[in-house]
Amino acid sequence: MVLNSEEAAQPANPVILETIRLTKQFGSVVANDGVDFTLRKAEIHCLLGENGAGKSTLAECLYGYYHPESGEIHHKGRAVSLSSPSDAINLGIGMVHQHFILIEPLSVVENIIIGTKMKSTLLNLAQAERKIQDLCDQYGVQLNLKAKIWQLSVGEQQWVEILKALYVGCEILILDEPTAVLTPQETERMFGVLRQMKSQGLSIILITHKLGEVMDISDRVTVLRKGKRINTVDTRDVTKEDLARMMVGRSVIFRVHKDALEPGEVVLEAQGLRALSDMGQEMLRGIDLAVHSREILAIAGVAGNGQRELFETLIGARKATAGRVLLRGEDITGLPPRKRLLKGLAHVPEDRIRMGLIPEFSIAENLILGNQRLAPFRKGLGIDDGQVQKFAKESVETFEIATPSIRQRTRFLSGGNQQKVILARELHQRPQAFLVHQPTRGLDVGVIEYVHQQILALRSSGAAILLMSEDLSEIFSLADRILVMYRGAIMGAFPADETRLDEIGCLMAGFEYDPGAQNHKIGLEYE
Ligand SMILES: Nc1ncnc2c1ncn2[C@@H]1O[C@H](COP(=O)(O)OP(=O)(O)O)[C@@H](O)[C@H]1O
Ligand SMILES: [Mg+2]
């Protein structure tokens, strides 16, 4: 039974920020559709919803960045009109955006005081630094304030954004998907600080689509779906399953069933693989891995540690500067992607538009892209249009691709629907080796489950699957083995056992796991 917290009879802190029937449109898209939202003093309030649900839009309206078409915003009981973020900041509202707005060549201190009224004389800088250091001490944040932004990890950069908001004295802090770039340990540390802020009277709006985090940290949660507020509940009154149902509008199973299978022979292999980034830096520093038949090997890591380069080198879209790629023992290092595909190496790229689809082609055309010469689509020298249409209609149905027609150009589909087109096409070929990078990012929970089932079915049929994902829950529900990648190298190999999460998290952040002792950073080249 789900109680609406507005009706729950308990003394609650006063409402500090409120929206009434807030509506914000982008052209014909109603991103926020009459949303009522309340934030109380000293609470952590999660905004939960799938991609595109309208979470960021609501936050940007509260921060004065977007201007709603209709509805009201009340701050401490008074209607306010926020014409820009500086209005919000003056009311004590701070925000950390999904994409940070920091200036790379400047130091932490300089970034924090920039835009504040203070002139950056040396004396003031020293004063500012003391004040910032006090904030760090207060919250147990360890940060070298003299470091330049480019020298910091993404997690550290996020602290700079948070300190920036605290420095100007915010009472309300909005965080838009802050944990997306963090390891499990960094997330835990951040949650500790958020709890402390709350105990000191701050109110926090935390945007996420991760249910575990909502259950862990929030007092209340507001669920958005397709721009509408579905419900606002006390977190302790609900389960993960309740929230999932509110998010997607129906119930979903969390764990897909996975058969116990004995892995077979090696299908895909990398030996001492090296490659450069687009900027010419060495991004792969000698990768060795072997994926067996009937096995899902997962690569865990924070984005930007060479996953993209590894993926592209394996499929043939990036040149290996050293090492080899083998498919069933055959050296395919020199082959272009198309030839690798014909040999049974299929892939689903992270970057859908750039690598996975031809945006100006229809859904039906994209669904047979690369396979048009293969059965059942080939008919003499041409294409069997009846078969193509049949397959397209089936795919649209089973993958729930939201489109008026199979003739729709994929350019007009949402990211999630584009991903479904790619998955439908690649899975249809029943490949021997399957490379997937972020296969379910941006998809609805129900579709994620479907995609996971499809990947597991492929495993049962004998394929070797290499999964790269930043989502550890995805990795744990699918993988048989896990490799951790950090700065272009494999840092460790693990069975898919959640009790090893701490070790995996440490390696993701570049630490050697050492229970008891102080962790020390490895592989870092700081000045
Ligand atoms: N600046 C914009 N221009 C046009 N459409 C936008 C813009 N920002 C968001 N949208 C659309 O509004 C909807 C809600 O987006 P958003 O608030 O970013 O969702 P969420 O943060 O929950 O993923 C989506 O359909 C998105 O495509
Ligand atoms: Mg968002």
For the chain, domains (ranges, CATH) are 15-92+171-248 (3.40.50.300), 263-344+431-527 (3.40.50.300), 354-428 (no CATH)
Could you tell me which of 224, 168, 240, 173 has the C-alpha nearest to residue 201? 173
Ligand having the closest approach to the CA of 35: 1
Query: Mutate which of 56, 69, 230 to test ligand 1's pocket (most atoms within 8 Å of Cβ)?
Result: 56
What is the arithmetic mean of pLDDT over 107-114?
91
Residue 51 in contact with ligand 1 by CB distance below 6 A: yes
- Atom of ligand 1 minimally distant from the CA of 47: 22
Ligand 1 pocket member 448 (CB < 6 A): no
List, in sequence order, every residue forming a beta bridge with 208; answer none if it has no partner.
48
- Direct distance between the N- and C-terminal alpha carbons of the chain, in angstroms, rounded to an integer: 56
Element at 214 (helix H, strand E): helix 211-217
Count CA atoms within 13 Å of residue 398 on its CB side.
Answer: 16
Is residue 306 in contact with ligand 1, taking CB distance under 6 Å? no
Residue 151, SS3 per DSSP: helix
| For the CA of 207, the nearest atom of ligand 1 | 21
pLDDT at 527 over 60: no
Say which residue the tokens 């992607």 belong to: 337
Is a pLDDT exceeding 50 seen at residue 459? Answer: yes
Q: How far is the CA of 433 from the centre of ligand 2 (A)?
A: 33
Cβ atoms of 45 and 194 closer than 8 Å: no
CA 79 to chain centre: 35
Nearest to 256 by CA among 486, 440, 4, 421: 440
Greatest pairwise CA separation for the chain in angstroms: 81
Instruction: Give dist(CA 507, CA 501) in Å, integer.
Output: 10
Helices 184-199, 501-508: crossing angle, 10 deg rounding: 90
Burial-class residue 479 by CB neighbours within 10 Å (0-12, 13-18, 19+).
buried
pLDDT band at 11 (very low <50, low <70, confident <90, very high): confident
Instruction: Give me 58's structure tokens.
Output: 């609501």
| This prediction's pTM | 0.65
C-alpha–C-alpha distance, residues 37 and 53, integer Å? 14
Give the model confidence (pLDDT) of 180-237 as tens digits: 878 888 888 899 999 999 999 999 999 987 888 999 999 999 999 989 999 999 999 9
Question: Nearest to residue 177, comparing CAs of 154, 210, 200?
Answer: 210
Q: How many CB atoms lie within 10 A of CB 252?
A: 17
Cβ burial of 74 (10 Å; 0-12, 13-18, 19+) is middle
Residue 96 near residue 134 (C-beta atoms within 8 A) = no
Alpha carbon distance 289, 527 (integer Å): 32
For the residues 389-402, what does the mean pLDDT come to? 90
The pLDDT score that the predictor gives to residue 503 is 83
CA of 97, nearest ligand number = 2
* CB within 8 Å of 239: residues ≥ 6 apart: none
Q: Name the residue with the closest Cα to ligand 1, atom 5.
A: 26
- Phi, psi angles (nearest 5°) of residue 321: -85, -15
Q: Is-cis flag, bond preceding 376, omega within 30?
A: yes
Task: For residue 446, report the distance from its CA to the centre of ligand 1, in Å.
Answer: 21
Amino acid at the residue 277? S
Q: Percentage of the chain with pLDDT > 90?
A: 55
| Residue 4: pLDDT band with limits 50, 70, 90 | low
pLDDT, residue 526, reads: 31
- Range 46-64 average pLDDT: 93
- Ligand 1: atom nearest CA of 32 is 14
Given a cut of 70, whether residue 9 has pLDDT beyond it is no
Question: What's the rounded Cα separation, in Å, for the pair 478 and 225?
Answer: 27
Measured CA to CA, the distance from residue 425 to residue 346 in angstroms comes to 10
Question: Residue 85: its pLDDT value, please?
Answer: 93
Instruction: Give yes or no for a contact between 107 and 53, defined as CB atoms under 8 angstroms apart.
Output: no
List the beta bridge partners of residue 231.
223
Mean pLDDT for the chain? 88
Kindly report the protein residue whose alpha carbon is nearest to atom 27 of ligand 1. Answer: 52
pLDDT in tens, 269-308: 999 999 998 888 899 999 999 999 999 999 998 778 899 9
53 C-beta closer than 6 A to ligand 1: yes
The single-letter code of the amino acid at 118 is M
CB-based burial label for 340 (10 Å; 0-12, 13-18, 19+): buried
Q: Can you tell me which atom of ligand 1 is nearest the CA of 59?
A: 17
d(CA 341, CA 349): 13
**CA-derived radius of gyration, the chain:** 25
Lowest mean pLDDT among 255-269, 427-441, 497-511: 497-511
CA of 241 to the centre of ligand 1 (A): 25
Higher pLDDT, 104 or 11: 104
Q: What is the pLDDT of residues 70-85, one digit of tens each?
A: 999 999 999 999 999 9
